Amino acid sequence: MVTSDQILLVPLLPFLAFVTNILAGRWLKDRAAWLSIATSSVACVIALPVCWAVFQGAHFASQGTWLMLDAVPLKFGYLMDPLSATLLFMVTIVGTLIQVYAAGYMHGDPRYSRFFAYVSLFMSAMLTLVISDNYLLFFMSWEIMGLCSYLLIGFYFEKDSAANASLKAFLTTRIGDIGFLLGFLTLFSAIGTLNFAQMNTIMAGAHGGHAALNTGLLAMAALLIFCGTIGKSAQFPLHVWLPDAMEGPTPVSALIHAATMVAAGVFLVARSFTLFMVVPNILPVVTAIGTITAFMAAFIALTQNDIKRVLAYSTISQLGYMVTAMGLSGLGAGTFHLITHAFFKALLFLGAGSVIHGTHVQDIREMGGLFKKMPQTAVTFIIASLALSGVPPLSGFWSKDEILLAAFGSGNFLVFGILLLTAFMTAFYMFRLIFLTFFGAARNHEVHAHESPALMTVPLWCLATGSIVIGIPGSPFMHHWFQKFIAHMVHHPEYEPSSFVMACSIAVAVLGIALAGVIYLRQKHWATAVAKSFPSFYRLSFNKFYFDEFYSTYIVKPFNALGRILFGFDETVIDGAVNGTGRNTLFLSEIKNWIDKYIVDGIVNFMGTAVYFFNSITKRIQTGVVQNYLLIVFLSVLAFLAFELKLT
Amino acid sequence: MIVLPLPHILIFSLFLFAIGLYGALVRRNIIGILISIELMLNAANINLIAFSKYTSLSPETGQIFALFVIAIAATAAAVGLAIVLALYRVRKTVQADEVNLLKW
């Protein structure tokens, strides 16, 4: 029997692992990994029955008052509805598998236990976020995840690039986070609650025209909350941090920057979906941002040469897909793609990690012909790529098809076209990556590749299985059960499955794979020829649309200049004031020192000297001969007697 | 039975005390000083008994007082002799004027 409060253990266990690892990691050494994996697995075991109960139609919620704001209670609690159950299912499974993999990948690292401490903290925050029932708790775990992301991107902080990347990620997401914070505060002022369930009720009332709400405020709240998504899910124009985040260890890229944390932004939109539905004109903005991101990132991924960067841009592109789906009211489709993407993209990153582990290079131009040397990695990587490219019957096909259907069905043919083109590019760059990495001849003979240990390949196979089957619940074979399961929460347009959309989707995937095959296996000079004939496009893609340069020139440099001016002010005025105070104090204290030395000390010394002088006279009585003392006693007695007698 | 008048006894004890005091002040040998102190104590004892006899108090008061003084004098002598012995072991002398360690 499922007792719903056991769900509280799910975030708590990884947190305990974090505390233990951070405090006792020095003595735990390699056992740190097993502690993290164990707590994560137990969390998984606890969470799955609860998820299963929710899949059966149950609904759990509980809350307690955290603090009172002028008699308005601020309640924290958990909410297990279809959305959180789905996410919980994905996060616990993928998180545990990635940690098992990381135990192998990170083996021998000097900061091994610290790595697992951070990962456990991250897991704890992510699980809290998933089950939280209000914006405030959501935001807190959201920020802890940001911190973990920062710590783990900069895990190899000896490298300047890693340190800079972690800073960049932290600051860039912070812009979105501020928006999110202001957003839910605005929402609070508009509807007086931060609780998701209450918000849904209020919004449903508003949708039915029962309650008059300040739509201006709500629109601002929705837009600001969406800023959080833009930052965390690396949407245009704040996507620049995610590719750089690849400086972190590969399991981190898989866990945080592919499967879970970046998906939290999409999850935020899903959570706030009723709000987005009520506010007019916000969904087109969401759609536009998502579509631009999907297309732009896929276009950049075409020309990147670093295996992890290709995957990073692919992640951005797929997140764009999810956001687009949300913008097209496709709550079910977006969430579905989030789940399938988590499985196959985690698998892709872990596969890339396995390749890096085996070859110690990241540049795909130096790889080639790895299929024979790393067969397990290669096969699982190809499975994931097929899923990502949208080849039926793998999971990615079903979820991508749902999004394309949402675009087609809602009549947004421009969006549909762009997404189709993006799908084509996705298939192309993924198979460009595969053909350059695993096929052909080895290009760098100094690379001696070897297959990774079982600790790393077993999670690959588990995720590969997931990538194949996880799409089934949303496929026509199960009558789109998943979409209905998610979407029954909100009013939501349903589209008839279209064979035209499906055909387009399969066609672009196959076309992309075929074109990649032709260019990178047969006609190798075509690639350079194409790059030469469209130099401006090539440069735009290769230089990532010059986003970094743009931000550097128009944001970072002015801010640096401002910083220098402020520093100058600080140095001359504020430091000057402090130093002046210091100098004056020094002068005053010198006067005090003189008084102390010559007056106070003088009195004390005089007392001492005087005592010493009188003492030198009176001490002569002390002869050391005992009889003198007795004589003195006798004479004194006599003297007293004489004195007494004289008185009487 | 001849009863000695009080002044006679007091004069006797005065002499005894004076001898003791003189001895304590002028003898150089520490043993001698101790003996002289015993003399002074005994002079005091005689006074106690004499006064208890000639006053209205119960005669036993002075006698018991004297017994206490004798007992305490014995212990004082024991301690004093022990000190003298210890002193002799360290300084190889029992002359009071040769022991002036506590001189200024």
Kindly report the nearest CA distance between residue B3 and chain A, in angstroms: 31
Q: What is the CATH number of domain B7-91?
A: 1.10.287.3510
- Mean pLDDT, residues A571-595 taken together: 93
Q: What is the DSSP string of A369-382?
A: --TTTSHHHHHHHH
Cβ distance A627 to B21 less than 8 Å, yes or no, reads: no
- Mean pLDDT, residues A563-589 taken together: 93
**Amino acid A491: pLDDT:** 57
Cβ distance B103 to A622 less than 8 Å, yes or no, reads: yes
- Mean pLDDT, residues A119-125 taken together: 93
AA identity, residue A52: W
Cβ distance B103 to A623 less than 8 Å, yes or no, reads: yes
Check if the beta carbon of residue A14 is closer than 8 Å to that of residue A117.
no
AA identity, residue A34: W
Cβ distance B25 to A623 less than 8 Å, yes or no, reads: no
Nearest neighbour of A619 by CB, restricted to B25, B96, B104: B104
Cα–Cα dist B67/A229, whole Å? 107
Q: Which two tokens stand for residue A538?
A: 């090539």
Q: Sort out which chain A residues have CB atoms less than 8 A from B99's CB and list them.
A: 624, 626
- Mean pLDDT, residues A261-282 taken together: 87
Instruction: Identify the bridge partners of residue A556 per DSSP, sorted by sequence position.
Output: none
- Mean pLDDT, residues A420-440 taken together: 89
Q: Is A110 helix (H, G, I), strand (E, B) or coil?
A: coil
Choose, out of A626, A628, A636, A637, the residue to mutate when testing the contact with B (most B CBs < 10 Å).
Answer: A626
Cβ distance A634 to B25 less than 8 Å, yes or no, reads: yes
Q: Sort out which chain A residues have CB atoms less than 8 A from B97's CB and list them.
A: 625, 627
Cα–Cα dist A610/A179, whole Å? 78
What's the length of chain B? Answer: 104
Give the side-chain half-sphere CA count within 13 A for A99: 31
* Confidence band, pLDDT 50/70/90 cuts, at residue A317: very high
Max mean pLDDT range (A325-329, A485-489, A540-544): A325-329
Tell me: pLDDT of A4 over 70: no
- Mean pLDDT, residues B24-40 taken together: 91
Check if the beta carbon of residue A367 is closer than 8 Å to that of residue A444.
yes
Q: Is A132 helix (H, G, I), strand (E, B) or coil?
A: strand
Q: Which two tokens stand for residue A410?
A: 């809602």
**Amino acid A490: pLDDT:** 60
Chain A CB within 8 Å of residue B66 CB: no
Handedness of CA A124, A129, A133, A139 (dihedral sign): positive
pLDDT more than 90, % of chain A? 29
> What are the backbone angles phi and psi of residue A72, rounded to the nearest 5°?
-90, 115
Chain A CB within 8 Å of residue B33 CB: yes
CA diameter of chain B: 58
pLDDT in tens, A67-93: 777 777 788 888 888 888 889 999 999
Instruction: Identify the bridge partners of residue A77 per DSSP, sorted by sequence position.
Output: A63
pLDDT in tens, A275-295: 888 887 888 899 999 999 999
Nearest CA in chain B to A628: B25
Check if the beta carbon of residue A17 is closer than 8 Å to that of residue A41.
no
Chain A CB within 8 Å of residue B75 CB: no
pLDDT in tens, A601-640: 999 999 999 999 998 888 888 888 888 888 899 999 999 9
**Residue A473, preceding peptide bond in cis (omega within 30° of 0):** no
* Confidence band, pLDDT 50/70/90 cuts, at residue B43: very high
Cα–Cα dist A310/B44, whole Å? 117
Tell me: pLDDT of A515 over 50: yes
pLDDT in tens, A162-184: 998 999 999 999 989 999 999 98
Cα–Cα dist A529/A534, whole Å? 9
Q: Which two tokens stand for residue A559?
A: 């801010």
Cβ distance B26 to A626 less than 8 Å, yes or no, reads: no
**Amino acid A505: pLDDT:** 87
CA neighbor of A94 nearest in space, from A384, A332, A339, A320: A339
Tell me: pLDDT of A1 over 60: no
For residues A600, A605, A610, A615, the Cα torsion angle rounded to the nearest 10 degrees is: 140
Tell me: pLDDT of A239 over 60: yes
Interacting residues of A508 by C-beta distance below 8 A, sequence separation 6+: A390, A420, A421, A423, A424, A427
| Residue at token pair 């707590």 | A39
- Averaged pLDDT of chain A: 86
Chain A CB within 8 Å of residue B56 CB: no
AA identity, residue A352: A
Nearest CA in chain A to B21: A634
* Confidence band, pLDDT 50/70/90 cuts, at residue A648: low
Cα–Cα dist B24/B18, whole Å? 10
Q: Sort out which chain A residues have CB atoms less than 8 A from B25's CB and list them.
A: 627, 630-631, 634
Q: How far apart are the first and last CA of chain B?
A: 58
pLDDT in tens, A10-24: 888 999 999 998 888
* Confidence band, pLDDT 50/70/90 cuts, at residue A493: low
Residue boundaries of the structural domains of chain B: 7-91
For residue A355, CA distances in Å to A65, A199, A513 come to: 49, 46, 21
What residues of chain A have any CB closer than 8 angstroms to a CB in chain B?
A: 619-620, 622-627, 630-631, 634
**Residue B9: how many other CB atoms lie within 10 Å:** 17
Check if the beta carbon of residue A74 is closer than 8 Å to that of residue A67.
yes
Nearest neighbour of B104 by CB, restricted to A620, A626, A627: A620
Q: What is the DSSP string of A256-317?
A: IIIISHHHHHHHHHHHTHHHHHHSTTHHHHHHHHHHHHHHHHHHHHTT--BHHHHHHHHHHH
pLDDT in tens, A186-196: 988 888 888 88
| Residue at token pair 């007086």 | A192
For residue A593, CA distances in Å to A579, A585, A586, A597 come to: 20, 12, 10, 6
> What are the backbone angles phi and psi of residue A441, rounded to the nearest 5°?
-95, 155
Question: What is the ipTM for the molecules in this complex?
Answer: 0.84
pLDDT in tens, A300-312: 988 888 889 999 9
- The model's pTM is 0.74
Nearest neighbour of A627 by CB, restricted to B25, B101, B103: B25
Distance of CA B40 to the CA centre of its chain: 3
Q: Which two tokens stand for residue A194?
A: 């931060």
* Confidence band, pLDDT 50/70/90 cuts, at residue A489: low
A to B CB pairs, distance under 8 Å: 32
Cα–Cα dist A311/A350, whole Å? 11
Cα–Cα dist A243/A314, whole Å? 10
CA diameter of chain A: 142
Nearest neighbour of A631 by CB, restricted to B25, B96, B101: B25
Give chain B's radius of gyration (CA, Å): 17
* Confidence band, pLDDT 50/70/90 cuts, at residue A111: confident
Nearest neighbour of A625 by CB, restricted to B21, B24, B100: B100
Tell me: pLDDT of A200 over 90: no
Which residue blocks in A518-625 are alpha helix, DSSP H?
525-533, 535-542, 547-551, 557-569, 575-595, 601-618
Tell me: pLDDT of A121 over 50: yes
What's the length of chain A? Answer: 648
